[in-house]
Chain A
């Protein structure tokens, strides 16, 4: 009898608990913005590389009854490089998905770490883009930003973004190489030279670009000067070129920055740091458009990722590279 009572009480408690747990919270409409408000997102994804811009969208609004927007500014922890600016146009996205600009102020002015834009029209809401060109001083450092807005009622709102770690990589895009002419590549300089220029800096030349239609598997190649002669057919190297650079072919690694903003893949510091280059050959033949090679210089000072943007049957190619100092 006693057991039966306990079981019944337990059942009642369980049912009550279920009822309480199922109680639904009513939705409440959020309060309307009653004061100067701001928000920010970072639009750039992928690694932060020196010389490339970081893009932000900074939104601000104030109730019409409280006044209008007067100015907006961004303060970076490290002064941006030339080309850093805060848009003086506010963008909205139309029904076709196109960003449409509306002029809201005068062009921004950057003084040291601060970029400021003053509104020239009577507006109480805007979204401004901020482009911060990463300077050389920020390499390997962290950079953060304070966005702020001032309204006509004297109020100020601010929004902090970051810190963001700046990559140690360097980038060089769209280097034209051609068989027998501009064929000598320096990873240290991130540049392409002809034979005469290469002869002046033999210790800096890591790779030779060449094209051979026969054998059909050879085609476009990057070969280090110290490679076996079989991989440098008919090539007379300028005096002093003798570096043995390790190469590792890779396919389907179309870095977005190197591929001129196509694809959605990024090569980052950690990839260049961790890529296994042990026992890799000193030549890479049969390269195709959108293929790539990991590179390690003979002195192990640099690692790089070279991406083949395009090739032609005439023996020319366009390459881009990311370089990491070990």
Chain B
């Protein structure tokens, strides 16, 4: 009887160890730290031309309630070859990522960028509206 008791106890102990050793993932699929922050917004926006000089004619207007970014660009800006730059709330990330030259020339269908919060549980879509000076 004591023998069965020992075996059962051993199995329970091993199970407990296995469960207790399971580590919570603290980084996301991009290797970025997942935090407890819930803030999720765009705080600043810049648009650079192919020569890495700003093509904005005035400061971009960011509406965090309507989730829109309105930016006016200089006459003659080649929107097929621009570099958008987003400043986000702490620990947030952007989806899709901006990896290089971006084509924003389709003004009829504004591009949508999603901001993901630090805890990766909140996602907000921002519509990027561009118009010429």
Binding site for B on A (CB under 8 A): 215, 217-218, 230-231, 248-251, 279-281, 283, 285-286, 291
Contacts and interface: CB of A to CB of B under 8 A. Distances in A.
B53 A279 contact: no
Main secondary structure of the interface of B (DSSP, over half): loop
B121 interface: no
B29 interface: no
B75 A215 contact: yes
Contact of B49 (A230, A249, A283): A249
CB-CB nearest 6 A-B residue pairs: A249-B51, A281-B78, A285-B76, A251-B51, A217-B74, A215-B75
Interface residues of B, number: 14
A62 B80 CA distance: 66
A286 B74 contact: yes
Contacts of A281: 78, 80-81
A218 B50 CA distance: 16
A250 B74 CA distance: 17
A249 B74 CA distance: 14
Nearest to B53: A251
B53 to A, nearest CB: 6
A247 B49 CA distance: 13
Contact of A279 (B57, B76, B81): B81
Contacts of A279: 80-81, 103
Contacts of B80: 279, 281
Contacts of A283: 76
A6 to B, nearest CB: 42
A215 to B, nearest CB: 5
A323 B56 CA distance: 32
B52 A286 contact: no
Contacts of B81: 248, 279-281
Interface of B: 49-53, 57, 74-76, 78, 80-81, 103, 133
Contact of B51 (A215, A218, A231, A291): A291
B75 A217 contact: yes
B54 to A, nearest CB: 11
Nearest to B76: A285
Nearest to B77: A217
Nearest to A293: B51
B48 to A, nearest CB: 11
B50 A280 contact: yes
Nearest to B100: A276
Contacts of A231: 76
B52 A251 contact: yes
Contact of B133 (A217, A248, A291): A217
Nearest to A282: B78
B76 A249 contact: no
B131 to A, nearest CB: 15
10 contacts: A215-B75, A217-B74, A218-B75, A231-B76, A249-B51, A250-B50, A251-B51, A279-B80, A279-B81, A286-B76
B82 to A, nearest CB: 11
A286 B50 CA distance: 13
Contacts of A217: 57, 74-76, 133
Nearest to A291: B51
A223 to B, nearest CB: 10
